[in-house]
């Protein structure tokens, strides 16, 4: 497993949060941070900014996962990552659109990296959390990671554990969680 290179990751997250930068620069830096982290997981390769043939849907990161022993053994061979460096929580419409991107590409899993989380009440499963639960019932799994989660990482093993924990909890809770 490759080193996380915390200084690089934190620098990219700092740039992504710095309001002195343009929206485009902050968004690109957020994607760079996820590319940096995901590409260091053993057995994972990352492809950036893939458009569908109609140029109507872009995927921030497509990840091929060779499911190596110290990598993402629980996750499927191909999954998508959507980066939302928004100043407010991601809403249900954005979650539904991401679910459709996952479905349109024949995948079963997506990782939504939402800087400020998502809308909705976790107990009542409203708003974006409801949409994630609906998607799960249709066979589309969406894991949630926040900037806070990324800032708490110390090693690649921490990221692997986080993704495995969120995958398990998705099935146990019936929707995405921050547990």
pLDDT at 56 over 70: no
Q: Residue 107 and residue 78: Cα distance in Å, rounded?
A: 7
Q: Assess contact for 113 and 82: CB atoms under 8 A.
A: yes
- Residues 62 and 93 sit within 8 Å (Cβ to Cβ): no
d(CA 92, CA 75): 24
Put residue 50 in one of left, alpha, beta given phi > 0 → left and psi -120 to 50 → alpha: beta
Portion of the chain with pLDDT greater than 90, in percent: 82
| Least-confidence region, from 52-56, 76-80, 93-97, 167-171 | 52-56
Average pLDDT over residues 118-141: 88
Give the model confidence (pLDDT) of 85-127 as tens digits. 999 999 999 999 999 999 999 999 999 999 999 998 877 778 8
In whole numbers, what is the pLDDT of the chain averaged over residues?
A: 93
pLDDT per residue over 20-31, tens digit each? 999 999 999 999
pLDDT at 178: 87
């Amino acid at each position: 497993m490759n080193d996380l290179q915390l200084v690089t990751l934190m620098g990219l997250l700092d740039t992504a949060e710095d309001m002195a930068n343009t929206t485009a620069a902050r968004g690109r830096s957020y994607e760079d941070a996820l590319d940096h982290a995901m590409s260091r997981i053993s057995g994972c390769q990352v492809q950036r900014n893939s458009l569908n043939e109609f140029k109507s849907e872009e995927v921030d990161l497509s990840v091929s996962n060779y499911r190596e022993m110290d990598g993402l053994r629980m996750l499927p061979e191909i999954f998508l990552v959507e980066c939302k460096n928004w100043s407010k929580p991601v809403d249900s419409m954005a979650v539904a659109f991401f679910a459709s991107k996952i479905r349109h590409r024949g995948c079963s899993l997506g990782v939504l990296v939402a800087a400020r989380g998502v809308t909705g009440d976790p107990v009542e499963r409203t708003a974006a959390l409801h949409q994630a639960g609906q998607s799960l019932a249709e066979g589309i799994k969406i894991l949630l990671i926040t900037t806070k989660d990324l800032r708490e990482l110390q090693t690649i093993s921490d990221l692997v554990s986080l993704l495995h924990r969120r995958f398990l909890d998705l099935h146990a809770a019936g929707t995405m969680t921050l547990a």
